[in-house]
Structure 1
Amino acid sequence: MVIIEVSLLSGFILASRSRTLLEHRTIIKKIEVEANVVYIYLEKLNDESQTFILQLEQVIQMKNLKPAMIKIYDYYQPGGLQISSHSGAGS
């Protein structure tokens, strides 16, 4: 199982429509949303490229947003971690 862990930017939440659209993708097994992190569980990945779009809603106006992290790892071997950062499309 592969986990995509998306830290949300400060002041943002995952849009409910975005979650619904993600849940309808066959590759996604489960989605968990915590206060500032979205966990996307995939049964497996192959060599085929995948794109996941998460639409966020700003609920609190923040200044000087810091980049947030995206982590991708195998549930059974979390040491093989891939990390990236994001700052949002509008930044």
Structure 2
Amino acid sequence: MSGRLIPWHDYVRIRPAMVGCPCPGILALRVEWEGADVVRICGLLAGPGREVPLLDLTREDPRPIMTEAEIDATVRAAVMALVQGEAP
């Protein structure tokens, strides 16, 4: 499994479905792949190294194959839950 940090504003810029999504203290996203499939996306929040899972497919068996639009919708919903003070 490999991971990559993507600054929040860069992610929003390259993902049109994320435009207008609020940034509740998210500095970057850590995206992890297994092969060609995204399996986990975590938000790195301002503060002492706090990380919040926004998408985690590692526990699902069988693991669903999600389109980019489905991934964006899931991440956006988790971010909106953070804005509203709910745990994603």
TM-score, structure 1 length as denominator?
0.28
Structure with larger Rg: 1
Tell me which of the two structures has the higher relative contact order, counting C-alpha pairs closer than 8 angstroms and 6 or more residues apart.
1
Larger proportion of helix: 2
Larger proportion of strand: 1
TM-score, structure 2 length as denominator?
0.28
